Structure 1
Amino acid sequence: MTTSADGQPLIPQPPATVAALRQAVRRIAPETLAAFTRELDRAADRSLQGSDPAPLRRFIAQWAVHVHIRRRPGLAADLRRWEDLGETGDAAQARRAASEIGRILDEAHAVVGLPAR
């Protein structure tokens, strides 16, 4: 991933549409494009089978949050460090990591206009 020298986001936050999110993922996190496509196919199939747009809405929300975090390399690195600490740390460190991960995700949800988890 290319980093911004001044700490600014690599790209603006795209609209929460499949096409815009796919383009953003392709640009800032191409290694996750296969997962994006797989999950999109699953969400679309579930939406069609149940005549319910909820799976597709969840997919868009999840990937909008992913893009928000990944477009900010420092934030993405922080999230990875907290996730690693949550897996390898003691109980107190795992609780702190869970709290910090929650804070990062809540902030991302707010920025992309979604209710907190």
Structure 2
Amino acid sequence: MHRSESGALTRHLLEATTNAQQTQSLAPLCAFVHSWAVFVAIERHPERAARLRELERIVDAGEQDPAEAIVEIRSIREAAEREAGL
């Protein structure tokens, strides 16, 4: 895990923990685990991770119709969820 990813993980965990305490619910922690399990499943495959970043750039740039990119992003995330057992 890169340093920036480690920092993001720590920030997300702290935010989830704070939200869980404030709401007295485990839902924020469950969302944290889900999010990071998907992230890890995607990053385990460098080609897939690179493709996801490229698709996200296409959507963010707004220079072309993002419909196909969005469909492929969903497909990548759904595959990662299955791999993570979610």
Q: TM-score, normalised by structure 1?
A: 0.67
The alignment's C-alpha RMSD in Å is 1.2
Query: Structure 1 residue 59 and structure 2 residue 67: aligned?
Result: no
Query: Structure 1 residue 98 and structure 2 residue 73: aligned?
Result: no
User: Displacement, 1:59?
Assistant: 0.3
State the one-letter code of the partner of 1:60: V
| Alignment partner, residue 41 of structure 1 | 14
* Aligned residue-pair number: 85
Question: Of residues 82, 100, 108 in structure 1, which corresponds to 2:80?
Answer: 108
- Partners of 1:43 and 1:59 lie apart in 2 by 6
State the one-letter code of the partner of 1:107: A
Q: Structure 1: which 5+ residue stretches go unaligned?
A: 1-27
User: Displacement, 1:30?
Assistant: 3.3
Q: Structure 2: which 5+ residue stretches go unaligned?
A: none
| Alignment partner, residue 54 of structure 2 | 81
Q: Which runs of 4+ in 1 moved over 6 A?
A: none
State the one-letter code of the partner of 2:49: A
Identity level (%): 34
SS in 1 for 2:82: helix
Between 96-105 and 80-89, the greater mean CA deviation after superposition: 80-89
User: Displacement, 1:29?
Assistant: 3.3
Higher helix share: 2
